[in-house]
Amino acid sequence: MGARLEGWLLENGYDPRGAASRMSNLRRVETAYGDLHDHYDKDRCSALLSNLSYSTADKCQGVPNPSRINIDGDICNGLSTLRSAVRLYVKYRQASGRELDV
């Protein structure tokens, strides 16, 4: 990850602060799970996204956080934010000419 991804976010409607926030989210995921490029190359991040899944039903049943990431506050909202960032990364990789240009 790096400047190209952040530039792509800016080109696609994110303001600088929003782009920086998404980059921070992605760095947090990488710290816990390793290089996103590897996850994308392996299965387009599907296993990673599955590991970050947590529903309101899970919350109501008191299911513990399934991820490796410590969430201070609402687990459902926290993991949703991280999943959204990973989905943006997947869109970036799928964008024209970006499959190999990371």
In a domain, 30, yes or no: yes
In a domain, 101, yes or no: no
Residues sharing a CB contact under 8 Å with residue 102, sequence separation 6 or more, in sequence order = 1, 4, 5, 37, 93
Residues sharing a CB contact under 8 Å with residue 66, sequence separation 6 or more, in sequence order = 51, 52, 53, 54, 58
In a domain, 99, yes or no: no
pTM score of the predicted model: 0.90
In a domain, 48, yes or no: yes
What total of structural domains would you count in the chain?
1
List the domain range (segments joined by +) for residue 59. 3-94
In a domain, 73, yes or no: yes
In a domain, 82, yes or no: yes
Residue 92 to residue 53: CA distance in whole angstroms: 21
pLDDT digits (tens, 9 = 90+) for 4-44: 999 999 999 999 999 999 999 999 999 999 999 999 999 99
